[in-house]
Structure 1
Amino acid sequence: MLTPTTVSSVVAAALAEDAPWGDVTCEAFVPPSATAVAQLRARTDGVLAGAEVFTAAFRLTDPGVAVQFHTGDGARFRSGEVLAEVQGPAAAVLRAERIGLNFAQRMSGIATLTARYVAEAAGTKARIVDTRKTTPGLRALERHAVRAGGGFNHRFSLSDAVMVKDNHLAVAANQGLSVTEALLAARERLGHTTHLEVEVDRLDQIEPVLAAGVDTIMLDNFSLADLRTGVAQVAGRAIVEASGTIGLEQVRSVAETGVDVISVGALTHSAPALDLGLDVTVAGPGAQD
């Protein structure tokens, strides 16, 4: 998902946005001969994500900048730990600093929050997964960060799997079709490898959905009692996913109902950026530390 092409495209766009006509501050104050050494340092505990993206910010600015990480994505770190060293032309290091930090802070924040959810569900069979509630244009990066935190990915896009929600079922009902009939008709039009998931919000919807032979059934905004009842009713006939504003304080209880998957939009839409800093030392003719 996080291909070199994707990384280059996203980072290049960010760099262009940040300095569309160059960095006038560096051009005015930093001699071309000045060099810089910098340390990427954690200012809080967390889980790293975005090493490749951070590196690309500097390398795309100037191939002469070297970035060396001491650890990799998915690694836990403590406050004060040096995560990476950056060295090269001072103007390039300073120009790429904010973009590199923005990506590393955002992605590490997602990885850290995901790791907390995963820890809460430990010892159960429930997987913590993300949703499509991602920042437009940054989905591949944010989904990668979820994986770095120990979580899993839901469908990447509308092209990857069929997910039938209440609005889709309303369209079918308007055509005079029952839920089962509509799903069976859809299955006939799908390739044999296409995954079919259906969202329900009441227990009485489960059997009509299962009668169509769906692969996954999503129990949306169910109470804990209804989740347990729903899992027992499905009885292994489909993967059971729980969804619906599941916070850290509820995720353990939800996992213990026996669901297979817990989808959490907050992993990507509400994760706070992690506090990381780049300590820069500039040296060279005419430059000051």
Structure 2
Amino acid sequence: MSSLSPETAKALADAGLDPDYVVSVIMMALDEDLADGPDATTEATVPAAATATADFTARAAGVAAGVPVAAAVFDLISQGTAKVTRVARDGDRVEPGSVLLTVTGGTRDLLTGERTALNLLCHLSGVASQTRLWVDAVEGTGAKIRDTRKTTPGLRALEKYAVRCGGGVNHRMSLSDAGLVKDNHVVAAGGVVEAFEALRKARPELPIEVEIDSLDQLPGVLAAGAELILLDNFTPERMRAAVQITGRNELYGRTRLEASGGLTLDQARAVAETGVDYISVGALTHSAPILDIGSDFREEGK
């Protein structure tokens, strides 16, 4: 129960997800449910040869994400015997009653796997739906909504994928694929410019972002060559001033600016209109409510 069909593996790869990683997440979840053996209730009440069809249907409006991941659950648990039809595409807007996925196969397989499939599908669709709210709020401003590393341990790649499904863009995936000079690095290095230059010297190939918490720090990091600056807990007025100062930085051109720190959805438009390039929102992943999706067996003959 650990390998995917070529079709399912391709669907995940086409979505930008590593099939082996997705399998590891699903198997971890299934192991929790099957730690003490098969599903006791299902084994006792459902004949081994019984078959059924289940529709995974949205019960609220939102954005779909994780449809191929949910499909992979049934591919694995049925060992490729279930017929899975992906009705919605990840990134689609869905309404109450929209079918995202239909699965036909052994009834025991459907009942055993449905909670794992729903946990992943509801969570990822919730992240995508939350992201879309922010993306819609800043539409037309040029600002992009960005995630953070405030993700569920083990689910980062899936949650960041869901952010993309909602129209957002990803920040760094790990601590080593990009540099981010934060306040504690500044203290340790003896200054923000010193921290930036130390990182650039040690890892010149990495993209580097520098966090500042005051306008006074901005000229120094611009002069040092920072090309991406995070404005931590700036007011919109200070963000606007930072945009103006940065626009006059002729040595390196238009350095990109990212707003961050305790932002809420009702502030999104005002922040975007300051001219910043990115708005980073930890709540996209750490606080997104699920999208309510249910699994309903069809009645015989339907």
Q: Which bracket does the TM-score occupy, shorter chain normalised?
A: over 0.9
Question: For residues 157 and 213 of structure 1, what CA distance do their matches in structure 2 show?
Answer: 23
1:184 aligns with 2:197: yes
1:204 aligns with 2:216: yes
Find the partner of 1:156 among 166, 169, 173.
173
Q: Deviations over 1:193-212 (max 9, x none)?
A: x1011100111011111122
Q: Which residue matches 1:81?
A: 98
**156-165 or 56-65, which moves further after superposition?**
56-65
Find the partner of 1:31 among 47, 69, 83.
47
Give, in angstroms, the shift of residue 120 of structure 1. Answer: 0.5
Question: For residues 182 and 129 of structure 1, what CA distance do their matches in structure 2 show?
Answer: 24
Question: For residues 282 and 30 of structure 1, what CA distance do their matches in structure 2 show?
Answer: 15
Find the partner of 1:147 among 154, 164, 169.
164
1:52 aligns with 2:68: yes
Question: For residues 274 and 291 of structure 2, what CA distance do their matches in structure 1 show?
Answer: 32
Q: Which residue matches 1:286?
A: none
Question: For residues 199 and 268 of structure 2, what CA distance do their matches in structure 1 show?
Answer: 33
Give, in angstroms, the shift of residue 282 of structure 1. Answer: 7.5
**139-148 or 56-65, which moves further after superposition?**
56-65
Q: Which residue matches 1:222?
A: 234
Question: For residues 158 and 194 of structure 2, what CA distance do their matches in structure 1 show?
Answer: 39
Q: Which residue matches 1:14?
A: 29
Opposite residue 192 of structure 2, the aligned amino acid is V
Opposite residue 204 of structure 2, the aligned amino acid is G
Task: Please tell me whether the aligned partners of residues 71 and 101 of structure 2 are also in contact (alpha carbons under 8 angstroms).
Answer: no
Opposite residue 46 of structure 2, the aligned amino acid is V
Opposite residue 187 of structure 1, the aligned amino acid is R
Find the partner of 1:275 among 271, 274, 292.
292
Alignment of 1:233-272 (within 5 A): 233-235=245-247, 236-272=253-289
Give aligned pairs, total: 279
Task: Please tell me whether the aligned partners of residues 186 and 194 of structure 2 are also in contact (alpha carbons under 8 angstroms).
Answer: no
Q: Which residue matches 1:287?
A: none
Opposite residue 186 of structure 1, the aligned amino acid is L
Secondary structure, in 3 states, of the residue corresponding to 1:88?
strand
Task: Please tell me whether the aligned partners of residues 63 and 94 of structure 2 are also in contact (alpha carbons under 8 angstroms).
Answer: yes
Question: For residues 200 and 169 of structure 1, what CA distance do their matches in structure 2 show?
Answer: 9
Secondary structure, in 3 states, of the residue corresponding to 1:211?
helix
Question: For residues 97 and 47 of structure 1, what CA distance do their matches in structure 2 show?
Answer: 20
C-alpha change, 1:51 and 1:209, in structure 2 (3 Å) is same
Question: For residues 51 and 182 of structure 1, what CA distance do their matches in structure 2 show?
Answer: 43
Give, in angstroms, the shift of residue 181 of structure 1. Answer: 3.5
Give, in angstroms, the shift of residue 281 of structure 1. Answer: 4.0
Task: Please tell me whether the aligned partners of residues 129 and 153 of structure 1 are also in contact (alpha carbons under 8 angstroms).
Answer: yes
Question: For residues 127 and 45 of structure 1, what CA distance do their matches in structure 2 show?
Answer: 23
Task: Please tell me whether the aligned partners of residues 127 and 262 of structure 1 are also in contact (alpha carbons under 8 angstroms).
Answer: yes
Q: Which residue matches 2:20?
A: 5
Question: For residues 269 and 183 of structure 1, what CA distance do their matches in structure 2 show?
Answer: 28
Identical counterparts, % of pairs: 50
Task: Please tell me whether the aligned partners of residues 138 and 269 of structure 2 are also in contact (alpha carbons under 8 angstroms).
Answer: yes
Task: Please tell me whether the aligned partners of residues 127 and 261 of structure 1 are also in contact (alpha carbons under 8 angstroms).
Answer: yes
The Cα RMSD (Å) is: 1.4
Task: Please tell me whether the aligned partners of residues 73 and 148 of structure 1 are also in contact (alpha carbons under 8 angstroms).
Answer: yes
Question: For residues 193 and 124 of structure 2, what CA distance do their matches in structure 1 show?
Answer: 41
1:41 aligns with 2:54: no
Question: For residues 24 and 93 of structure 2, what CA distance do their matches in structure 1 show?
Answer: 28
Question: For residues 246 and 76 of structure 1, what CA distance do their matches in structure 2 show?
Answer: 25
Q: Which residue matches 2:9?
A: none
Runs (5+) with no aligned partner, structure 2: 1-15, 248-252
Question: For residues 50 and 28 of structure 2, what CA distance do their matches in structure 1 show?
Answer: 26
Opposite residue 241 of structure 2, the aligned amino acid is T
**96-105 or 180-189, which moves further after superposition?**
180-189
Runs (5+) with no aligned partner, structure 1: 284-289
Give, in angstroms, the shift of residue 27 of structure 1. Answer: 1.3
Q: Deviations over 1:60-104 (max 9, x none)?
A: 111211110112100011111222211000000000000000100
